Amino acid sequence: MLMATISIASAKGGCGKTTLAIVLGAVLAEQGYVTRLLDCDLNQHASAFGAKNSLERLDVRPSVDEHNVLAELRSAEKEAEITLIDLPGGSSTLALKALQRSNFVLVPCQASLPDVRDAMKTIAQVDDAQDLARSPIARSLIWSRVLPGFESRAAKHVRMSAEETGSPIFSSALMERAAFREMHITGTAPTSNSPISAAAHNARAIADELVLRLSQLAENVA
């Protein structure tokens, strides 16, 4: 049985953390995983999605902060197979607590040099949490809000710069799709209401890659 806690973190706001969190939460629940999403972001957009969503295996917990995050994590670790943590931007006690309890950290990053610099700050936070936890914490960048079609010269330069840092990068990217914006209105993911769409294919590819990486981590521990 696959059991894991995944933080979705970035020092920068507006990079797609919450979109990634609800996409993964919905797809993993549809795939049969008992999934809990802890909404730690001040805007509480994941909680608004959760209030509209009807998936039995997806439980979105609102208003998680530095005071109750450990209690919420203990509960999730007992009751869920996959726990996703939608963290607020920046560095905080909340983030440090969540990162230390994570098996994997996903860092969404747009294809701009300032975003890559902020992503590296987040990776440094993961390193700090790893040092405090005295246990390895796997992590990976994931390109977010990527426009479909031709990759610009600037975007290619940014991508190559990120690869040179040596940080792992997901093969799948979170594309810029209207269907992902509409999830906040409908409370459903494109994998439910439009299962053969490009957005649904994108969502499943990200979730499948995450499950693969988590399975590889579990095998290495075993």
pLDDT reported for residue 104 = 97
CA distances from 155 to 13, 109, 158, 163, 186 (A): 19, 12, 5, 12, 32
Model confidence pLDDT, tens digit, residues 143-191 = 999 888 766 776 777 777 777 777 899 999 999 999 999 999 999 999 9
Q: Using CA atoms, how far apart are residues 13 and 23, in angstroms rounded to an integer?
A: 18
4-221 domain in CATH 3.90.70.10? no
pLDDT at position 12 over 90 = no
**Whether 111 contacts 158, CB under 8 Å:** yes
pLDDT reported for residue 89 = 83
Q: Enumerate the H helices of 31-152 as residue ranges.
A: 45-52, 69-79, 93-100, 113-133
pTM above 0.85, yes or no: yes
pLDDT reported for residue 143 = 92
pLDDT reported for residue 222 = 60
